[in-house]
Amino acid sequence: MNDFETWVFVVVAFGAAALVYGLKALRRRKEREKWNQIPHEPAFSPSVPPTPRVVRAPLPDPKPYDPNDSVESAPIDAVRTGAAYVVDGDTIVVKKTQIRLFGVDAPEMNHPFGKKAKWALVRLCKGQKVRAELISQDAHGRTVARCYLPDGRDLSAEMVKLGLAIDWPKYSGGIYAALETSDARKKMWLADARQKGRMHVWEAFDTRQGNKGANRS
């Protein structure tokens, strides 16, 4: 093969290779265009969106207890669970059942520390579901119950520890006596007098309060 034939062979071979490459490129472009015309599912993303934070709305404050609301009696050994409406320092209403806290005595509303005891009990019960385990009825028809907060705290014990109620051994067996603050019976001398049967002290105080009210009016 002379030089001319060699040159012709190289040109033909190069042209054939270029033609083959061009045909392959054209075919790939057409396949890509067809692929792009077909709808596809979005590509899978391994990233996981963060879990949204759950924000709990605060529980509404219990409405003030209205003594005109109907109050239902409940069978003993039953349980009442729900929001507690505070009447005074040792009385609440749960599910329309008026309940006396077991084993303790808090001052009446018109007695020294009476309002303070009530609002202390309001703060304990605020936003909580109270579990009342009914055990008996008192002389006034109120249901007596052991009352517990969701964390297990005994409301009777908490009021005694705050110095705003005293143990009533006649009914409690003295189980709360050790929790009394040193000045509790001095502050709640009227409750102490009632427990000791000295009702004349109670009556004399109520008489003085009545006279003060009459003088103010």
Query: Which of 80-89, 127-136, 184-193 is least confident?
Result: 184-193
With respect to residue 120, please indicate whether it lies within any of the assigned structural domains. yes
With respect to residue 44, please indicate whether it lies within any of the assigned structural domains. no
pLDDT for position 1: 60
Query: Which of 98-112, 117-131, 188-202 is least confident?
Result: 188-202
With respect to residue 194, please indicate whether it lies within any of the assigned structural domains. yes
Residue 161: pLDDT over 90: yes
pLDDT for position 215: 40
pLDDT for position 18: 65
Where residue 191 falls among pLDDT bands split at 50, 70, 90? confident
With respect to residue 190, please indicate whether it lies within any of the assigned structural domains. yes
Residue 100: count of CB within 10 angstroms of its CB: 24
With respect to residue 71, please indicate whether it lies within any of the assigned structural domains. no
Where residue 167 falls among pLDDT bands split at 50, 70, 90? very high
How many structural domains is the chain composed of?
1
With respect to residue 189, please indicate whether it lies within any of the assigned structural domains. yes
pLDDT for position 112: 84
**Percentage above 90 pLDDT, the chain:** 38
Give the range with max mean pLDDT: 33-37, 140-144, 211-215: 140-144
Task: Compute the residue count for the chain.
Answer: 217
Work out the average pLDDT over 120-147: 90
With respect to residue 36, please indicate whether it lies within any of the assigned structural domains. no
* Torsion angle defined by CA atoms of residues 41, 44, 48 and 53, in that order, rounded to the nearest 10 degrees: 0
pLDDT for position 104: 94
**Percentage above 70 pLDDT, the chain:** 60
Does pTM surpass 0.85?
Answer: no
Structure tokens at 125: 């019960």
User: Under a CB-based contact definition with an 8 Å cutoff, are residues 125 and 59 in contact?
Assistant: no
Which amino acid would we find at residue 92? I
Q: Domain range holding 125?
A: 79-216
State residue 151 phi and psi, 5-degree precision.
-85, 5
The SS3 assignment for 98 reads strand
With respect to residue 86, please indicate whether it lies within any of the assigned structural domains. yes
Residue 187 maps to which CATH number?
2.40.50.90
